[in-house]
Amino acid sequence: MERGTIPAGDLPGGIDLQATVESGQSYCWFRDDGRMYEGAPADGWYWTVADGEVLRVRQVDDGLAWESTTDAVPLLTRLHRLDDDLPAIRTATPADPHLQSAYDAYWGMRLVADPPFRSLISFICSAQMRVERIHAMQVALAEAYGEPIQAGGETYHAFPTPDRLAAATEAELRDLGLGYRAPYVVETARMVADGEADPAEAAELPYEEAREWLTRFVGVGQKVADCVCLFSLGFLQAVPLDTWIRTAIAEYYPDCDRGSYAETSRAIRERLGGEYAGYAQTYLFHYLRTRE
C-alpha cells in the first residue's frame, strides 16, 4: 500500500479525527481495535473503503498519517472536508456560550462528506436508534453484502452496492437487526438500483428543495433528509432536528420552536449562524451527547 502524511499546516484549524468519525455523522469508518464509541482514546488506525480503494488513517500529533491502495490525499480531503477553514467557520458562529463550549470541547472536528448512497442507507437505519447500534448495522450490512477487498494482507469490506442491497430480502435484513427499517432499506436500494432516483442528484438543488426531494426515498423524512444534506451533500447550513437538538431548542432556544419542521429549522438555522449552522449543530450535538 502507498503511505503518506498530511501535516497540520495543511489543515486549517487542525483535525480531531476521533471526533470526526465517532460523532454520529458518519458510519463509514471502523477501528482496527473495534472499540468505537467506548470513549477510549483512539491512537490507532481507522479504515474505510471508498471508490473501491482501501483507506487507512490515524492521527499523529495535529496531522494525519495514511495508508491506502491509492494516493489518499484527494480522497481524504473530500471525505473529511480537510479544506474547510475551521477558524473562519467558527468566526461566523454566534458568541453563544453553549456553542462556544462545544467548539472548545472538540476543536478540530470536521464535517464529513460521506458517499451519498451510503449516507442515505445509514441514516434510514438511524431512526429511533442509538449511534453505536447504527454503526453496528452498517458493519453487518458490509460483511453480509459488501465486496471483500484484499490489501496489505488483510480483508476489508466495501459498503454494498444498490444492486446487492436491492437483492436482499426484508427477512434477511431483519435478521441483521434492522427491525422495521428493513423494508425501507430494500425499497430505497431498489429505487437507486433501478435508476428511479440517485441521492447525489439532490446536490444540484437549492438546500430546502434538496431536503424535500430526498424524502421521495422510502424511510426518509425531513430529519433523515437533512442528515444526508449535511453529512454527504455539502449543505453546511442544514440543521437536522433530532431528539437532542429538539431538547436543546426547548432548553436554550425556545423562541425557535415554530411548530412545523420547516419553520423551526429555519429559525434555529439563523440562530446558529446561517451559512455554517450545520457545523454548529454537529458540535452541539456531539457535545450534548457526550457530556457527563
Partner DNA sequence: CGCCAGGCCTTAC
Partner DNA sequence: GTAAGGCATGGC
Query: Helix, strand or coil for residue 2?
Result: strand
Quick one: how many helices (H) and strands (E) in the chain? 14, 7
Binding track, positions 213-252, relative to DNA; x by CB under 7 A: --x--xxxxxxxx-x---x--------x-xxxx-------
The upper half-sphere exposure of residue 148, i.e. CA atoms within 13 Å in the direction of its Cβ, equals 6
| CA distances to 1, 10, 77, 234 from 62, in Å | 23, 10, 15, 24
Burial of 22 (0-12, 13-18, 19+ CB in 10 A): buried
Which position among 6, 15, 18, 25 is part of the footprint of DNA (CB under 7 A)? 25
Rule CB under 7 A: which of 162-181 touch DNA? 174, 177, 179-180
Is 273 a binder of DNA (CB under 7 A)? Answer: no
Cell readout for 224 is 433523515
Strands (E), 152-234: 154-157
214 is catalytic: no
Minimum separation from the CB atom of position 228 to DNA (A): 10
Rule CB under 7 A: which of 34-93 touch DNA? none
Query: Helix, strand or coil for residue 237?
Result: coil
Binding track, positions 112-131, relative to DNA; x by CB under 7 A: --------------xxxxxx
Which of the following is catalytic: 31, 80, 90, 223? 223
Count residues binding DNA (CB under 7 A). 39
Residues in the site for DNA, rule: CB under 7 A?
23-25, 126-134, 174, 177, 179-180, 184, 215, 218-225, 227, 231, 240, 242-245, 259-260, 281-282, 285, 289
Residues that are catalytic: 223
